[in-house]
Structure 1
């Protein structure tokens, strides 16, 4: 069971897309630039032959001295001027070539080119490339010990690049960073320009994608050996950035094995047994294991509330368990034979009617729980009880199908007379509230004993006169409404909270359209754009969500301070309107105080609670035909149907009832009582 702030199923991998792949930067690995590091590695490799191949034994010191003196003797026949030019040329060539080429080769090249440094370097490069470049599949010759007294030449560049250790390297080029293995190129500087001597491998990932790019760049070297490829680590989650268009209707049919989605709210007077009834049902369906249930039983006994054990399945907060009263809307999910049910357990206490309205506004169908005990049903049904108000509220908010769970029937010994008495009183009122008799179903139950919940009861006192379905079967018989998946996206935030990592989360029911990870959204009324980084349905990360889903969206690109409960997230191409003044058609409930111009009210719209003032009384309408009976009335009394104009203190995102029925309904409350229900007919002022 999860409430709005439950993030147990959140995928935290998405929080690090904008950071380095392994949580480190270039500065952590290098104190110098990557290019300088590559040159340093190359130079060090040339200085120490142990990096490339082992030698049988080192050349003796006297041999080295003899080797160094021999080139000097080879040009003693030159004049003093030519010797000076030769030494100057060799000094320049050593600065470029270092120790990678023997001095005898440099002397020969300098003398052939008449001591011209650029030409001598070009000659050395050509000779070295011609002798060292070989096919990649060719075997390399074994190391041969040089003859004593002769200069030992370094192995070819191809051999060096074969055995050189692979160096993990991070490259920053204004694009996304990714790990790769680099086989550095052998380069030399000639006249201020880099000249490639010989290369066998190339840098795998010199230029990497930026964090926001959609595709990763393929490696430049397609002829890379299998050894190099297998040593390349994973290149991050770039494939997840690419977004494909989906056929939402096919995806909805495929999801959950073709089962339909249904949002169910449980309502009723306080202490009618709503939480116990649904908690026991979830236990019987296997959504709560025996170990957890035993724990709840022991803890509830210690707290002196042994009968509240099943209620603790849905009442998870300490305050709710201590007070024994549901305070917020508890939400969970279970499945029937043909439906996927999102269950919302609404509070029944009068002080928490605003929370109950929030749950009822997101529901498709409802279960009204009444207490069959003598005196208890009457207390909840008569004036001051919440049974009437709850039924009237859910009908005004668009719920047309209702199951009445006549609870605690075990306390009246499953008497048919008591059941008929309760249903007759309720049936008359529900018909006046707007429910059709064919859409209201009555089921005798016992939440504490679990009778007639998940399967038909075997108690003879009940089976003698009741032949109808059990509660879970009746839930399965409900008809799922048509979803507005073809309309522009709309989601009203019921909770906003900071998530671990970057971004923050908003939760709410998607009223229309569908959304995918990576989509851009517009938050109204702050009129701020944001990007969806992740989507979660019932603690499970998904790629998309559609109308009817209770989704949790992880958002980036907007400050959490600007987003409040009640903000509507919509499609930027078809945004919702935000206004402070609008006209509506309202139905006045059983309210004794006359409503006049300037009357203060509280508007409850989806998850929004906003103070407002009745600015104008436009006209009184006929209840059946809708014809104008009186213009500019002085006041409105109970039972009247009228057109009024409302003024809110802050902008509220609204839709016309004719365009979006789900977003066109609202409730008016005054001094703790619900006084009217209405639908938006005209938006007068937009911001």
Structure 2
């Protein structure tokens, strides 16, 4: 019958003979239950979340005996309290990400000298401004003597007080204000409740035994030494100062120009491919009658690529020169795989244009609608200014100087029109099949008669490595997603800006979901940190793999990447069969992202040389014109202004498999 007692209507003034009276502790004989039963009855009008969060975050309101050791809460306990605080604040995902990022930065500087509630209230009161919040916390330490006087005055309060459950008033733009008033008489002479002012300073209250713990004494003192925030440039120099510079080079050119064979032979000459593997490729290629493809198979690894004899996806390999670690991105040359080529070119620092010197082959790839012109225009539009031109298969013309000069003359005129400077272009005669003039000076007598320049390896070694913007906010474009061997999943891509450390919190945009970096891999080697310019694989947790897609961007949680579906761009129009008009449907290529879009407004037609406005609101755009237009994408995407982040400020416009224009993003509209 004990479990059927009428607990709610029981009179607590009566004495009971049995030991399991409601409110009695198992280990104690004295009863601490209040006499007013009404406050223990369920009432929907009360703020249940405020009560639970108040009791959860202030576990120290109960007295502890002197025999019990005072210990600091563990890290999981702190994380649990913090997550409970954030749930009570009802913040948006973006604001929660900003708050967590600011809290991490403040902990790195202040350590445990300031309580968790104080940190949260200060960050919210200063609207996620890290610098203002830090200044407020440091200046608050100077006012601690005044707070001590208030505590002494409050300690003179009468011992019998009343406690009312805490009421929480939450406002995103203001600091949460928690007010607890005393409502119930108790036998304990301690005020179990205190007021937290809106400015983040806690009101006075009598000190309990937990107040005398080392943690509290430490928090009442000003921090003796403030940790310095890591300087990105200093961290980059410490990590990479002694290493060779990383150089990413994309290999482009018309289909069948010999790009994969050239790079495969280069890797074999440098000893990056074992003789056993090369012998295997030789035997397998003989079986299908394609022995000349044995070197191409070093980079073309899939069965379909080997059967068709063309590169379909971006192949990757690496080697070292005297001063650099070079990562090769072997782009496909076929017209059907231009989107893959754009993805590879978007990850590169410099480009290697391979042309076929065979009579008729160069002309078909350069003059008759081949990919030589289109690839050169694309890499220049993507911001690549350094170009090496490998005149391949020159052995088919018996190393003819006239043929070499003829090709160079035609390319010089076109590349200058495309925006390349003569000083940034180097021409190298070579042969991928024989290995002539790849890693050593030429031995062929016919070539030695007229060519005295460097070999291809020396040309690559002389390329300048761009300045890495490591001090800017994190931006990493995702070009591949795959399941990892352990927990979580992996995304691969290039870090455009900033630094990525293992354990960092990142925001996956445009879905605005927070994730944690569990692991980083650079060129298949595990690392704790990666910098701008690195091509990395990142293991993420805390976000669903189904929600992440190619073209998303990993962003700094505080300084987030802009997300919009409409922007202004300055376009350079290539050769188009149909003039571009208002409402013209296009495909936008932005890094690895491909989206449908429309040109919704033609703003101005510009002078190609000076940039002056020739005509406002033109009716159409023809060949080789420069204009300012508004573009609207079918759904919001992550973009940046070109002046802020060059790599994320460029777009390609394609229609029916042909690139018709390239543009720089000049303005982003709120949508």
TM category, shorter: 0.5 to 0.7
Q: Corresponding residue for 1:576?
A: 561
1:478 aligns with 2:463: yes
Q: Corresponding residue for 2:525?
A: 540
Q: Corresponding residue for 2:330?
A: 345
1:291 to 230, 252, 276: 276
1:209, 1:675 → 2: CA distance? 56
1:396 aligns with 2:396: no
> 1:253–1:259: 8 Å Cα contact kept in structure 2?
no
1:594 aligns with 2:579: yes
1:209, 1:304 → 2: CA distance? 65
1:531, 1:329 → 2: CA distance? 28
Q: Corresponding residue for 1:561?
A: 546
Bigger radius of gyration, 1 or 2?
1
1:605 to 564, 584, 590: 590
1:461 aligns with 2:449: no
| Correspondence list, 1:676-687, <5 A | 676-686=661-671
1:319, 1:403 → 2: CA distance? 29
In the TM superposition, residue 650 of structure 1 has moved relative to its aligned partner by 1.2
1:507 aligns with 2:492: yes
> 1:326–1:347: 8 Å Cα contact kept in structure 2?
yes
* Per-residue Cα deviation, 1:272-312 (whole angstroms, up to 9, x for no partner): 00000001101111111111111111111112210000000
In the TM superposition, residue 354 of structure 1 has moved relative to its aligned partner by 0.5
| Correspondence list, 1:133-172, <5 A | none
Give the direction of change, closer, same or farther, for the CA distance of 1:583–1:246 in structure 2 (3 Å limit): closer
1:681, 1:392 → 2: CA distance? 20
1:522, 1:208 → 2: CA distance? 27
1:619, 1:550 → 2: CA distance? 38
Q: Corresponding residue for 1:62?
A: none
In the TM superposition, residue 256 of structure 1 has moved relative to its aligned partner by 7.6
1:257, 1:211 → 2: CA distance? 41
| Correspondence list, 1:378-397, <5 A | 378-397=363-382
Greater than 2 Å deviation, 4+ residue runs: 207-215, 243-258
Give the direction of change, closer, same or farther, for the CA distance of 1:639–1:290 in structure 2 (3 Å limit): same
1:367 aligns with 2:352: yes
Q: Corresponding residue for 1:419?
A: 404
1:244, 1:648 → 2: CA distance? 39
Q: Corresponding residue for 2:211?
A: none
| Correspondence list, 1:159-198, <5 A | none
2:657 to 672, 682, 686: 672
Give the direction of change, closer, same or farther, for the CA distance of 1:495–1:435 in structure 2 (3 Å limit): same
Q: Corresponding residue for 2:647?
A: 662
In the TM superposition, residue 258 of structure 1 has moved relative to its aligned partner by 3.4
In the TM superposition, residue 332 of structure 1 has moved relative to its aligned partner by 2.0
> 1:252–1:258: 8 Å Cα contact kept in structure 2?
no
1:493 to 468, 478, 487: 478
Q: Corresponding residue for 2:56?
A: none
Give the direction of change, closer, same or farther, for the CA distance of 1:617–1:208 in structure 2 (3 Å limit): closer
Give the direction of change, closer, same or farther, for the CA distance of 1:420–1:253 in structure 2 (3 Å limit): farther
2:415 to 405, 426, 430: 430
Q: Secondary structure at the match of 2:242?
A: helix
In the TM superposition, residue 255 of structure 1 has moved relative to its aligned partner by 3.0
2:542, 2:237 → 1: CA distance? 29
> 2:236–2:470: 8 Å Cα contact kept in structure 1?
no
1:286, 1:246 → 2: CA distance? 39
> 1:256–1:340: 8 Å Cα contact kept in structure 2?
no
Give the direction of change, closer, same or farther, for the CA distance of 1:248–1:299 in structure 2 (3 Å limit): farther
In the TM superposition, residue 611 of structure 1 has moved relative to its aligned partner by 0.6
In the TM superposition, residue 254 of structure 1 has moved relative to its aligned partner by 4.6
Q: Corresponding residue for 1:644?
A: 629
In the TM superposition, residue 340 of structure 1 has moved relative to its aligned partner by 1.3
Q: Corresponding residue for 1:323?
A: 308
Q: Corresponding residue for 1:310?
A: 295
Using the size of structure 2 for normalisation, the TM-score is 0.66
**Number of residue pairs aligned between Structure 1 and Structure 2:** 460
1:374, 1:417 → 2: CA distance? 12
1:517 aligns with 2:502: yes
> 1:524–1:576: 8 Å Cα contact kept in structure 2?
yes
| Correspondence list, 1:139-288, <5 A | 210=76, 245=230, 248-252=233-237, 254-255=239-240, 257-288=242-273
1:260, 1:629 → 2: CA distance? 44
2:233, 2:503 → 1: CA distance? 16
1:286, 1:208 → 2: CA distance? 53
* Unmatched segments (≥5 aa) in structure 2: 1-66, 80-103, 108-227
> 2:605–2:625: 8 Å Cα contact kept in structure 1?
yes
Q: Give the superposed CA RMSD.
A: 2.4
Q: Secondary structure at the match of 1:635?
A: coil
* Per-residue Cα deviation, 1:106-142 (whole angstroms, up to 9, x for no partner): xxxxxxxxxxxxxxxxxxxxxxxxxxxxxxxxxxxxx
> 1:489–1:515: 8 Å Cα contact kept in structure 2?
yes
Give the direction of change, closer, same or farther, for the CA distance of 1:212–1:271 in structure 2 (3 Å limit): farther
1:626 aligns with 2:621: no
In the TM superposition, residue 615 of structure 1 has moved relative to its aligned partner by 0.5
Q: Corresponding residue for 2:427?
A: 442
> 1:488–1:570: 8 Å Cα contact kept in structure 2?
yes
> 1:521–1:529: 8 Å Cα contact kept in structure 2?
yes
Give the direction of change, closer, same or farther, for the CA distance of 1:311–1:249 in structure 2 (3 Å limit): farther
